Structure 1
């Protein structure tokens, strides 16, 4: 029980985010390798249009600010999350 005292939710969140980012990056690198291309298979969803213009635009004349959110979940990012949870539990 003493090992659980040092763990907190923020550490788990950092581990999960790093697992998603590293998994997504490895999936992106593996997309051109024929026998690893399945790692990049996934779904993209979010708020805003597919061309990246966002859901809200603010035109200030000189600069246009667009706000939106796009998330792509791939098999590699899911594997990265699972690995990060395993590492977190070993701490």
Structure 2
């Protein structure tokens, strides 16, 4: 039995999220498929700024999860298990 690489799973999950989100944005204005873009966004509304005089650091994180990105993650896991 061969072991599966965790990095491959991570790359596949990230690509499933990105492709699912892209498909969700493309289908937002299609009447029968607009439900794929339904989701929730969470994170920092305004970024945190750390001003050190010489250096200014800005921290921010926002995640948007949609139905299409969840489907993309599920498909990525199924494909990973088939490998």
For the aligned pair, the TM-score class normalised by the smaller chain equals: 0.7 to 0.9
Structure 2 spans left out of the alignment, 5+ residues:
none
**Are 2:72 and 1:75 equivalent residues in the alignment?**
no
* Secondary structure at the counterpart of residue 34 of structure 1: coil
Residue in structure 2 matched with residue 30 of structure 1 by the alignment: 27
Residue in structure 2 matched with residue 85 of structure 1 by the alignment: 77
After superposing on structure 2, the runs of 4+ consecutive aligned residues of structure 1 that deviate more than 3 Å are 58-61
Q: How many residues align?
A: 83
RMSD between superposed Cα atoms in Å: 1.9
Structure 1 spans left out of the alignment, 5+ residues:
none
* Secondary structure at the counterpart of residue 20 of structure 2: helix
* CA shift digits 1:40-75 (9 cap, x unpaired): 0000001x22xxx31x214578x9642110000000
| 1:1-91 paired onto structure 2 within 5 Å | 2=1, 5-46=2-43, 48-49=44-45, 53-54=46-47, 56-59=48-51, 65-91=57-83
TM-score (norm: length of structure 1): 0.80
